[in-house]
């Protein structure tokens, strides 16, 4: 699919605004947008798997958590550079994607979602039980920042989010992405045609997990700590809501939804845990009244050919 002039102008304008954030706002605003972009990476990668295959991955925080904890543990206990920690986080997330995906993706109906949700819940509990390794409720503190300068770190995260989006969009538009959509539409027919459905679904889950681990490592390095909250249901609800608000099945929509809702969440910070209620209500409203989300329909409208007016 080619990008129209109007779509290109929208992308250029949005990117220009993101590049200008450190110069238009304070250090606090730069920090807020840094977190927004990390959430954008998570939303895009969740949508890449669940949007293309139609299988909701409710264990997604598990991949975020293993990335964050792997990077943090290596840093805090062995003094491993956070740059190497990022690679370790992505590698371990990929391995976990295979371990989780191989048995669960064979399940039919809602059982995959339930199985992955149970895996994430077990993982969060294990983080508390293995407190001597994970730090328990306090987590792992005093991590080494990836980049000391906050503005430079912001631009690094921005570049990472842009590259991640390009990779995921590119993959979704290849023959491989078309096969995943075909599997979502009629898995039985794809199997009858000789397509290795399980392999393609596991591969998509692994790719999603790799970017989740990447975002987890970036988040841990930025916060200079990691705690069990990163594997919580709150994290799952936040990421899923961002995808649905942006538009399920559109990587760019997920990124836009992540930025919008991250900013909304920051404005609702004083509401504490009630932010989860706001997210849930917003998700319900979108599902009932805006099935295509907010960002994706706007993108498609900009890409549509203008209607000719009869003389």
- pTM for this model (two decimals): 0.91
Residue 80, pLDDT > 90, answer: yes
In angstroms, the CA 74 to CA 14 distance is 36
Identify the band that residue 311 occupies on the pLDDT scale cut at 50, 70 and 90.
very low
Residue 301, pLDDT > 80, answer: no
Q: What is the pLDDT of residue 307?
A: 46
Residue 37, pLDDT > 90, answer: yes
pLDDT in tens, 202-227: 999 999 999 999 999 999 999 999 99
DSSP track, the chain: -PPPHHHHHHHHHHHHHHHHHHHHS-HHHHHHHHHHHHHHHHHHHHHHHHHHH----TTHHHHHHHHHHHHHHHHHHH---HHHHHHHHHHHHHHHHHHHHHHHTT--TTHHHHHHHHHHHHHHHHHHHTHHHH-GGG-EE-PPPS-SSHHHHHHHHHHHHHHHHHHHHHHHTSHHHHHHHHHHH-HHHHHHTT--HHHHHHHHHHHHHHHHHHHHHHHHHHHTEE-GGGGSHHHHHHHHHHHHHH-TT-HHHHHHHHHHHHHHHHHTGGGTTHHHHHHHHHHHHHHHH-TT-SHHHHHHHHHSPPPPPP-
Identify the band that residue 75 occupies on the pLDDT scale cut at 50, 70 and 90.
very high
pLDDT in tens, 105-134: 888 878 999 999 999 999 999 999 998 888
Q: What is the pLDDT of residue 281?
A: 81
CB 255 within 8 A of CB 44: yes
Q: What is the pLDDT of residue 140?
A: 94
Q: Tell me how far CA of residue 29 lies from CA of 24, 92, 258, 260, 270, in angstroms.
A: 9, 32, 16, 14, 17
């Amino acid at each position: 699919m080619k990008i129209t002039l109007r779509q290109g102008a929208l992308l250029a304008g949005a990117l220009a605004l993101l590049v200008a954030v450190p110069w238009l706002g304070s250090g606090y605003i730069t920090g807020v947008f840094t977190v927004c972009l990390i959430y954008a990476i998570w939303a895009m990668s969740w949508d890449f798997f669940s949007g293309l295959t139609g299988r909701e991955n409710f264990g997604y925080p598990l991949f975020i958590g293993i990335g964050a904890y792997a990077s943090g543990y290596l840093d805090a206990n062995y003094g491993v550079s956070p740059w190497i920690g990022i690679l370790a986080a992505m590698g371990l997330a990929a391995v976990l994607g295979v371990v989780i995906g191989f048995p669960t993706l064979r399940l039919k109906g809602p059982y995959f979602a339930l199985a992955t949700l149970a895996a994430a819940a077990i993982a969060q509990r294990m983080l508390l039980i293995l407190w001597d390794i994970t730090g328990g409720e306090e987590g792992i503190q005093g991590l080494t920042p990836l980049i000391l300068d906050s503005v430079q770190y912001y631009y690094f995260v921005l570049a990472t989010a842009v590259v991640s989006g390009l990779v995921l969009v590119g993959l979704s538009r290849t023959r491989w992405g078309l096969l995943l959509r075909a599997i979502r539409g009629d898995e039985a027919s794809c199997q009858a045609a000789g397509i290795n459905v399980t392999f393609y679904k596991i591969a998509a889950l692994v790719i999603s997990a790799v970017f989740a681990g990447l975002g987890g490592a970036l988040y841990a390095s930025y916060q200079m700590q990691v705690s069990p909250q990163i594997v919580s249901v709150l994290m799952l609800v936040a990421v899923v809501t961002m995808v649905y608000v942006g538009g399920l099945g559109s990587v760019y929509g997920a990124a836009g939804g992540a930025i919008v809702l991250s900013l909304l969440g920051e404005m609702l910070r004083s509401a504490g845990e009630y932010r989860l209620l706001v997210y849930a209500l917003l998700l319900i409203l979108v599902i009932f009244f805006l099935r295509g989300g907010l960002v994706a329909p706007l993108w498609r409208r900009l890409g549509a050919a203008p209607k000719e007016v009869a003389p």
